[in-house]
Amino acid sequence: MKNGTKKKVSLLPRIAVSNIRKNTSTYLPYIGVSTFAMFTYFVFDLILKNDIMYNLPKGVYTLILVNIGFWLLGIIMVPFLYYTNSFLIKRRKKELGLYSILGLEKKHIGIMMFWESLIIYGCVMAGAILLGLVFSRLIFLLLLNLAKMQVDVTFTVSPAAVTDSLLFYAFITALNLTVNLIQVGRANPLELMSESRKGEKEPRHILPMSITGFCALGAGYLIALFSKLESQVFTDFFLAVFLVIAGTYFLFTSGSIAVLRFLKKRKKFYYRPEHFATVSGMLYRMKKNAASLSNICVFSTMVIITAVCTVVVYADMDTIVSSGFKRVMEITCFGEAKADADSLQQNAAVLAEENHVRLEDELIYGSIELSAVLEGNTFQIPDDQFNIFRDLKYVLLMTQEEYERMEGTPVSLSPDEVLIYSTGADFGRDTVRFRTLEYRVKEELGECGIGRKAPNSVFENLYLAVFQDERQVENVCAEFGMDRAASHTCFYGFRPEGEDAEIDAFSSALSQYLNTVPGFAGYDDHRANMEDQKSIYGGLLFIGIFFAAIFLICLLIIMYYKQLTEGFEDQRNFEVMQQVGMSDAEIRRTIRTQISMVFGLPLFGAFFHTAVGMRMVYMLLGAIGFFESALLIGCTAAGCLVFAIIYCFSYKRTSMAYYRIVKQMN
């Protein structure tokens, strides 16, 4: 007996190899999916473990974003690889049941499954690491290029990244193997033999599930439609995503069953060959259908939104980066004499010429900055109750003469009239009050040099009020207890053009000159800050590109496995129907009808989710300074169109695979 047992154990590795070789149509997709997943994980880890990232200027911002993406990737990969494993073990149960009937004990089956898992583990990790070593440098250079960092660097492979990847996939393999052993151990041979053909019980409580789904989806949509750009927006976003995912699952479960029941009752529709097979087949596996359809819908939405966000950030990168600054270089001085401002501009021009630098997009004006709380149409002195981040507004008080000098546009105001401009939402009132002083708003400006208009941003709190002359400005200052002469500020900003070394020399010379200017208050060279922001947004682009690709591949794999699973399950059904007279053309029509119904609903659901969710996406993008709504709408429409083309191509390919499977009839 001992010798027999030893022989069985020694044969198990060879049986495992033979099983994998004979079931390549089942194992190869699983190995390919796992290799792709671990390749992605390995590359992310290689970047994080690369020493050069800690030494590059601005590398810390990109590292933080890649680190976040790395953890999110790990969270996504565990359930995704578990899902693909569930397809694999379902296809193997009949074979494992046969082994048990032929006399192989459960412990020997377990050892054989262990060897199969070990062989697959070796193939996956060898492929993932090999691909990672080949393509990691290219992907690393893409990251550096997007992050606007130095690209002429040496990329090294960290042994720690290899170890992390080996351990991570070992954990997933152990998890899947444990689940498989439990399923096989609990079932008897006959149950294993019939498991793949076992239908599902119809879910109970369809009405409560439908109500729950509608409520969850409606709540998610309401949050997406009515959220505001404030500190709570990120919490609202994750809550809305959770509710929409839950609502999608419940509605696909209850809604699909209700629709199928309705179609089954329509005798003229149901008792047609292509419809009978479709409806009965979908009712046969309604729970699994709902799960896969909701997954396809959710992943489709993720692909579209991630891709659209990546494209719009890339297209509007320069505007986003510059939106936080009036100009690249900014000078502030205290003083009110026009001659002082002219002298400042002239001396800066001389220094620029000496250093071969051109000063573009110049902006110069004098104003008085007022801090106030806006209540209705009245600017009031802040009290102890206000919120500095939400309620405090900054108002630039400017004369008509200064405004004409700044904008180069003549205006005509009477003593009781003002021009109003807001960098955020429109002021939107016919009169404005500064405590007790009331003025008529002659015009609300649509644009102005002091700042870009961002009407949807609650963080924009800068106003401009233009008065006829100094007398009105003095009156407002008196209302707020301010000394007009002491509060007057001169601003001068511009964008330097030239070689970096020449701009550096000009900036140094300008700084030395400004230290000799009476009333000099501050000089800011924002080039470094802008480069830091480009690095941050470049890291976001990298994450967006990778995750859009990952979501798309996950989606295609789910669609492929769904059709593969259902093809094998329906193979016998179509064989019987063909034997009773269903023609090849009718089988093709049945398959087209079924796949159209299966894939059409998630696609339209994804488009609807995207349309509703884009408002919240717009709010989230507003947090980084993106407010080009027309660009977002255009990219969304184009993204949906491109995705629909890819989706339809996948639909065609999977329908062909499904048809080939059901035609393989003995």
The per-residue pLDDT for range 99-153, each reduced to its tens digit, is 666 666 777 777 888 888 898 999 999 998 998 888 877 777 776 676 666 555 5
357/312 same-domain check: no
Q: Which domain covers residue 89, as residue numbers?
A: 1-198
What is the band of 1 on the pLDDT scale with cuts at 50, 70, 90? very low
* Structure-token match 């140094």, residue found: 508
Average pLDDT of 602-618? 88
Evaluate if residue 439 carries a pLDDT over 90. yes
What is the band of 170 on the pLDDT scale with cuts at 50, 70, 90? very high
310/330 same-domain check: no
| Contact of 529 with 329, CB cutoff 8 Å | no
| Contact of 558 with 292, CB cutoff 8 Å | yes
Residue where a domain terminates, one of 474, 491, 525: 525
Does the residue 203 lie in any domain?
A: no
In sequence order, what are the residues at sequence separation of 6 or more whose Cβ sits closer than 8 angstroms to the Cβ of residue 628?
312, 316, 319
Question: What pLDDT shows up at residue 100?
Answer: 67
What is the band of 181 on the pLDDT scale with cuts at 50, 70, 90? confident
| Contact of 458 with 230, CB cutoff 8 Å | yes
Does the residue 235 lie in any domain?
A: no
What is the band of 441 on the pLDDT scale with cuts at 50, 70, 90? very high
Evaluate if residue 467 carries a pLDDT over 90. yes
Q: How many domains does the chain have?
A: 3
397/305 same-domain check: no
Evaluate if residue 61 carries a pLDDT over 70. no
- Nearest-angstrom CA–CA distance, 310 and 545: 7
520/541 same-domain check: no
Does the residue 206 lie in any domain?
A: no
The per-residue pLDDT for range 20-60, each reduced to its tens digit, is 787 776 778 788 888 888 888 888 788 777 765 555 555 55
Q: Which residue has the higher pLDDT, 265 or 354?
A: 354
518/531 same-domain check: no
Average pLDDT of 88-93? 72
To the nearest whole number, what is the mean pLDDT of the chain? 78
DSSP string of 636-651, one letter each residue: HHHHHHHHHHHHHHHH
387/414 same-domain check: yes
Residue where a domain terminates, one of 477, 494, 525: 525
Q: 383 vs 380, 387, 391, 551, 630, CA distance in Å?
A: 9, 9, 11, 50, 40
Does the residue 231 lie in any domain?
A: no
- Nearest-angstrom CA–CA distance, 421 and 443: 9
What is the band of 502 on the pLDDT scale with cuts at 50, 70, 90? very high
312/339 same-domain check: no
545/613 same-domain check: yes
488/616 same-domain check: no
346/455 same-domain check: yes
Evaluate if residue 556 carries a pLDDT over 90. no
Does the residue 275 lie in any domain?
A: yes
Q: Which residue has the higher pLDDT, 255 or 450?
A: 450
**Beta-sheet pairing, 378-380 with 358-375:** antiparallel
Question: What pLDDT shows up at residue 640?
Answer: 92
Does the residue 217 lie in any domain?
A: no
Question: What pLDDT shows up at residue 317?
Answer: 81
Does the residue 66 lie in any domain?
A: yes
Evaluate if residue 452 carries a pLDDT over 60. yes
Closest CA to 495 of 625, 358, 366, 365: 358
Question: What pLDDT shows up at residue 666?
Answer: 41
Q: Which residue has the higher pLDDT, 67 or 526?
A: 526
- Nearest-angstrom CA–CA distance, 242 and 14: 46
363/509 same-domain check: yes
Residue where a domain terminates, one of 525, 551, 584: 525
Closest CA to 657 of 570, 549, 555: 570
Question: What pLDDT shows up at residue 183?
Answer: 77
Evaluate if residue 167 carries a pLDDT over 90. yes
174/25 same-domain check: yes
- Nearest-angstrom CA–CA distance, 152 and 661: 51
Q: Answer whether 0.85 is exceeded by the pTM.
A: no
Q: Which residue has the higher pLDDT, 392 or 444?
A: 444
Question: What pLDDT shows up at residue 320?
Answer: 77
The per-residue pLDDT for range 281-317, each reduced to its tens digit, is 666 555 566 667 777 888 888 888 888 888 888 888 8
Helix axes 584-622, 527-579, angle to 10 degrees: 160
Largest CA distance in the chain: 111
Element (H, E) at 274: helix 273-284
Evaluate if residue 354 carries a pLDDT over 80. yes
Q: Which residue has the higher pLDDT, 513 or 203?
A: 513
The per-residue pLDDT for range 380-434, each reduced to its tens digit, is 888 765 555 457 888 999 999 889 888 888 888 999 999 999 988 888 899 999 9
What is the band of 269 on the pLDDT scale with cuts at 50, 70, 90? low
Does the residue 360 lie in any domain?
A: yes
